[in-house]
Amino acid sequence: MFARPNTLLVFYRVSCPTCKLTLPYLDRVSMPVLGISQDDAASTEKFRQQFGVKIESVLDLASEGYPASNRFGVHHVPTMFVLDENGKIAERIEGFDKDALERLGACFAESERVPEFRPG
């Protein structure tokens, strides 16, 4: 696919409140991140600008039947997959999970009121 060794894939929708919380923090993880938006290009770009999302994103369109989401069995967003050096799924993370993001290298300041978990 598009992944490099030890890559984090994140499936998201621009209308998802938990995605709005999660995606800006993904710049802090210690591995390459690829976003997979379930929305059109214009909506995705507007979302990226509005929430300061810097990760690269590709589209997984409804008009095409969400092929990537279906292949990965995504039923809720955000859903993240850590791919190992062989491109195999090493971990699946659903929703916002502060502990999981910290394990991936994200740091959170005490002044940031970040929840421990928020379902997608």
Which residue in 5, 11, 7 sits closest to 120, CA to CA?
A: 11
Nearest CA to 36 out of 85, 3, 4 is that of 3
Instruction: State which amino acid sits at residue 60.
Output: D
Q: pTM value?
A: 0.93
pLDDT in tens, the chain (120 residues): 445 558 999 999 999 999 999 999 999 999 999 999 999 999 999 999 999 999 999 999 999 999 999 999 999 999 999 999 888 999 999 999 999 999 999 999 999 999 999 999
- What CATH number corresponds to the domain at position 70? 3.40.30.10
Domain range for 72: 7-106
User: Does any domain span residue 113?
Assistant: no
> What is the torsional sign of CA 74, 87, 9, 65?
negative
Concatenated DSSP letters of 61-111: -GGGT-HHHHHHT--SSSEEEEE-TTS-EEEEEESEEHHHHHHTT----TT
Please indicate, yes or no, if residue 71 is contained in any of the structural domains.
Answer: yes
Residue 120 domain flag: no
**Overall number of domains in the chain:** 1
